[in-house]
Structure 1
Amino acid sequence: MNSTRPPCKGEGNTPNCVTQCNPGYPSYTKDKSFVPIKGRRRTLPNITDLTELMKLDFPDPGGPISRTLTWFRDWLAGLKETRFFLSGPLSLTPVLVCSDAFRVFLQRHCPVVAEPFSPTPWCWGGRLQTLVRVLIKSSPQVDYRNELIRTADGGQISLDWVDNGDSAAYPECYSRPTVLILPGLTGNSRQTYVLHAVSQATRRGYRCVVFNNRGFGGEELLTPVTFCAADTSDLERVVLHVRELFPQAPLLGTGVSLGGMLLLNYLARKGSEAGLVAGLTMSVSWDTLESCASLEQPINRLIFNRHLASNLCQAINRHRKMLETVVDVDHVLKARTIREFDERYTSVMFGYKSCLDYYQEASPNYKLPRTTVPILCLNAADDPFSPKHALPVALAKRLPNVALLVTSHGGHIGYLEGLYPRGEGYMDRLFGQFIQAAFDHPGDLKGACSIKEELLD
């Protein structure tokens, strides 16, 4: 680049450029730091420039240079996050993408959607938010009543109930609103985020039931079948069971991570016959293939991917005698990533040709237009499990029943606030306010989402 700084259109033809532009590379006038130095002409790249350079095609895909550059790119991303938390504003208002009517309803009855989210200042970046939540979050005391229900294939599902019989707001059992909670991939009713959700619901007088995925609720497998995000048959059985027990009580579904994927796939499959007044999802992976790619980045692979794959393999090994009749358990136990596990186990168990076919079927972003009930979806832009470019922003803009709430920070099921974030956090407050809004103002919610009364009755 010469010292007179000629106009650059980004096509790579500017004379004397230090770095020729690749297609799509940011314009100098927009993003580059140009500093002429006496005797030498050079461009001093900032962190943003270096990050953009790391997005170029690597010369040896899968080779040592590619792995080194990928690691350096991840390190730069972490450096940018650190710099932001040390020098930038911490408090940012989340972006709410939805119809005008749905926005008015949420801002009126769920004010947390319009409040700035201030993440814990020493817990910078999505990875730390994700990790620290597991280590530091408190576990409210919850006493469950367990119920085992049978399925059509002879299996059983473990449900953990909190009946809340002392509810002053809803003393009659038959009409007490019920919240159905779906935990994440390897989660169950004892996860901290589930316990906090139950605490939020019961203090408002509601009944709670946690749907534990087969094999993860402490029960024995009676058939060689577990679960996956694309198979909604067990959830259909649970919703039918709860509705039969309490036909006059409104039922709301909420899912976290994979539980949210399962809930969205269920809502898309059942449409107006879903039997729920509303849905709430948190930290959903909208495009499973993109989520896998994000988790296979070097740092994410080391911190998250291997750990989750190990937990899944432990669950398979625990039920080895039952499952070895349908899959090669020894081969499954050698999986070191979620993709390897899904290729060796999930796709085989549920009859997919490959894990890619399974990922296509499991991804809820393609199915949102088939949903009819009001749905609020919370995601963080720095979630290592759900990259922001895969969020269904365009769909949320045009669907009257879907609201997408995106925070700048929060990680995966993190959303930690305060200097010592052990107690109630942003995600917990959002959960509490939304379920109360849905139960207290069902008519207003249906009207805001342009839903006819008879569709959800």
Structure 2
Amino acid sequence: MDPSDSITELLLKAAALIPITHYLLGIWIIFLIFMYIFLEVHIFQDFLNGFRGNPVTLTYNSCSEIYDGVVSKCRILHGRYLVSPWLSSPHLQTVFLNFFGNPPRFSYRRQLFTTPDGGTIALDWLMPSDVAPAASYMSNSISKDDRTPIVMVIPGLMSDSASAYIKHLAFKIAKGGWNAVISNHRGLGGISLTSDWFYNAGWTEDVRTVVEYLHQEYPNAPLFAVGTSIGANVLVKYLGEDGDSTHIAGAAAICSPWDLLICDRFINRRLVQKVYDRALTIGLQIYAQTHQSIYSRLADWEEIQKSRSVRDFDNHATCVIGKYETADTYYRHSSSAGYVKNITVPLLCVSALDDPVCTKEAIPWDECRANKNIVLATTPHGGHLAFFEGITAYGLWWVRAVDEFFSVLHSSSFMHKRKEESSPQMLEPVLDQGPYLSLTEDGMLSAIVNEATTGGIVANLPEEQCNHTKTAEAIISEPEADIKTNEKSLCDTVKPSNHDVDGNQDVRYLRQATAPLKRHLKELSRHGRKSMWLLAYIAILTTWPFLRSALLILFKRKIRNVVPATWLRK
């Protein structure tokens, strides 16, 4: 070794003695560590856990009858979920689902449905006979009185009936003896747009229209619904909007974004999320390219082509066509989290905590826990709509969970039934329950009142108000008693005619009916007088500085002779 060699030269000579294969091995190890962290791989955790999977966490209301009567009997939801070992990453699962997915093979039966505004929706049906070993195509329709349950499926963004996860779900439903119908979004499923309206994350009118159609066509068949991704957001929003008036007997929301504003921020946070954002944008641009004739007429086509993110596309296309001011306005208006509290249908929600598209930060935990009709099932792993299980990734865990949930719900007494609009359970103000007065042709006033309703209101009033009502009725009936006393002799000799008897009954009935109305008017008048005095007092206090100055200017000479000079200086 030459003593004149520097430390750097010595290090380089030492490095040259190491075989090149060692360097390649080191680079490979560093790359694996980076990818392990970047892709959020968890196979080592699964190995340390003995490949037993993770338990499913259920969030529900402690008084929920849906949990006690339905979910508590679902074995899958109370079990554990184990990811396919070679797909131990949310990104690997999501990518594998979209490019491969291992979907079953079958053929749908297509029905074209026209909406009231002229739009066209492709309804793709899959029936038990289509997946039977010896499938028969002799009967291609369902009878009007068929009681076989129907499951309506709403796909996610840029998905249709041909998507792998939709096929997994439809096949499982049909294999169980139920009918599945996929309600494709407008312009998807190989169907051209026939109107100037496109689907979006908050457009619930198509779901409402299809639900009404299915109920009218098959009134005896229980109707269930499953929404996936954006379709789950649309379904939850629809259930919250319609409440008890929907025909849906039970529903499931899979990997819902819940709050679109939070998901928009999340998908632009990290590099890996930006990859999904870019992929979704390309899909939306392909969709717009397919319907360029309409998009170029209604929106700025050049800006749509230049879009680099979903937010850009929504700014230049969705907001323009949907008449939203900004993308944030559209996201707030279309988010389903605010409608959770109004849901009255038994709803199973499934989400993965490592979902790379719909973040767990958007899940409305407290709202789901407060609603007795909702059960939220979450797993540590699963990706976006994937949840592959088994060595060969033969199936999706959430498909089995939803199928079991619907089966147990169908055999229970907790299925939702639409309440008739003729008997709404709404609380109305007491004044609105009072009698209505109608003016007849001869100038007489007659009361139109519901006896049962009026009686119910009086029965629910506090004792004070009941006494007040009785007193008012007694005062009103006093003149009638005097008249009867004075005319007693006439009544003894002259028998009243039927017309007179009916007239007296009408007068008595009118007085009894208008007594509550008079009482409420008196109360309003009394409160009104108090309010007027209070307003006058406030007006004097607030205007006194100006009023004092005006009085001094007008009556300064007269006041000067009465009021001391020191007061005027102040």
TM-score (normalised: structure 1): 0.77
2:353 counterpart letter in structure 1 = A
8 Å CA contact 2:354–2:381 kept in 1: the answer is yes
Computing the radius of gyration from Cα coordinates, the structure with the larger value is: 2
Partner of 1:243: 215
Partner of 1:353: 325
Which structure 2 residues correspond to residues 279-358 of structure 1 after superposition, within 5 A? 279-358=251-330
| Counterpart Cα distance in 2 of 1:306 and 1:337 | 6
8 Å CA contact 2:39–2:90 kept in 1: the answer is no
What are structure 2's unaligned runs of at least 5 residues?
Answer: 1-32, 133-141, 422-570
| Counterpart Cα distance in 2 of 1:196 and 1:452 | 28
Partner of 2:54: 92
Q: Match of 1:253, SS?
A: strand
2:307 counterpart letter in structure 1 = A
Residue 137 (1) aligns with residue 101 (2): yes
Q: Deviations over 1:107-127 (max 9, x none)?
A: 443210010111122322322
Structure 1 residue 287: Cα displacement: 1.2
Structure 1 residue 346: Cα displacement: 0.9
Partner of 1:28: none
Cα 1:167–1:199, aligned 2, differ >3 Å: closer, same or farther?
closer
Structure 1 residue 262: Cα displacement: 0.7
What are structure 1's unaligned runs of at least 5 residues?
Answer: 1-71
Equivalent residue in structure 2 for 1:116, among 80, 90, 108: 80
Equivalent residue in structure 2 for 1:147, among 111, 121, 135: 111
Q: Deviations over 1:44-77 (max 9, x none)?
A: xxxxxxxxxxxxxxxxxxxxxxxxxxxx999856
Partner of 1:61: none
Structure 1 residue 438: Cα displacement: 2.3
Equivalent residue in structure 2 for 1:435, among 393, 398, 406: 406
| Counterpart Cα distance in 2 of 1:455 and 1:299 | 51
Cα 1:74–1:283, aligned 2, differ >3 Å: closer, same or farther?
farther
8 Å CA contact 1:154–1:222 kept in 2: the answer is yes
2:74 counterpart letter in structure 1 = C
8 Å CA contact 2:59–2:375 kept in 1: the answer is yes
Partner of 2:120: 156
2:379 counterpart letter in structure 1 = T
Q: Deviations over 1:406-435 (max 9, x none)?
A: 0010010111122221x2221121121112
Structure 1 residue 363: Cα displacement: 1.2
8 Å CA contact 1:305–1:337 kept in 2: the answer is yes
Structure 1 residue 144: Cα displacement: 1.3
Cα 1:419–1:136, aligned 2, differ >3 Å: closer, same or farther?
farther
Q: Match of 2:226, SS?
A: strand
8 Å CA contact 1:294–1:387 kept in 2: the answer is yes
2:271 counterpart letter in structure 1 = I
| Counterpart Cα distance in 2 of 1:307 and 1:229 | 17
Cα 1:80–1:133, aligned 2, differ >3 Å: closer, same or farther?
closer
Structure 1 residue 351: Cα displacement: 0.8
With CA pairs under 8 Å and 6+ residues apart, which has the higher RCO, 1 or 2?
Answer: 1
| Counterpart Cα distance in 1 of 2:347 and 2:34 | 35
Partner of 1:267: 239
TM-score (normalised: structure 2): 0.62
Q: Deviations over 1:158-197 (max 9, x none)?
A: 11112435899xx976211100001110000011111111
Structure 1 residue 319: Cα displacement: 0.6
Q: Match of 1:404, SS?
A: strand
Partner of 1:229: 201
8 Å CA contact 1:379–1:405 kept in 2: the answer is yes
| Counterpart Cα distance in 2 of 1:80 and 1:211 | 35
1:294 counterpart letter in structure 2 = F
| Counterpart Cα distance in 2 of 1:296 and 1:102 | 37
| Counterpart Cα distance in 1 of 2:71 and 2:248 | 22
Q: Deviations over 1:380-411 (max 9, x none)?
A: 00001122222111112211001100001001
Structure 1 residue 312: Cα displacement: 0.7
8 Å CA contact 1:272–1:372 kept in 2: the answer is yes
Partner of 1:43: none
Residue 376 (1) aligns with residue 348 (2): yes
8 Å CA contact 1:377–1:403 kept in 2: the answer is yes
Structure 1 residue 82: Cα displacement: 5.9
Cα 1:334–1:435, aligned 2, differ >3 Å: closer, same or farther?
same
Structure 1 residue 106: Cα displacement: 3.9
Q: Match of 1:189, SS?
A: coil
| Counterpart Cα distance in 2 of 1:83 and 1:390 | 28
Choose between structure 1 and 2: higher helix proportion: 2
Partner of 2:480: none
Identity of aligned residues (%): 26
8 Å CA contact 2:55–2:81 kept in 1: the answer is yes
Cα 1:336–1:226, aligned 2, differ >3 Å: closer, same or farther?
same
Q: Match of 1:161, SS?
A: strand
Partner of 2:183: 211
Structure 1 residue 203: Cα displacement: 1.3
Partner of 2:8: none
Residue 103 (1) aligns with residue 67 (2): yes
Cα 1:106–1:408, aligned 2, differ >3 Å: closer, same or farther?
farther
8 Å CA contact 1:106–1:113 kept in 2: the answer is no
8 Å CA contact 2:106–2:131 kept in 1: the answer is no
Partner of 1:406: 378
| Counterpart Cα distance in 1 of 2:270 and 2:189 | 32
| Counterpart Cα distance in 2 of 1:178 and 1:262 | 19
| Counterpart Cα distance in 2 of 1:184 and 1:364 | 14
Equivalences, count: 377
| Counterpart Cα distance in 2 of 1:80 and 1:118 | 14
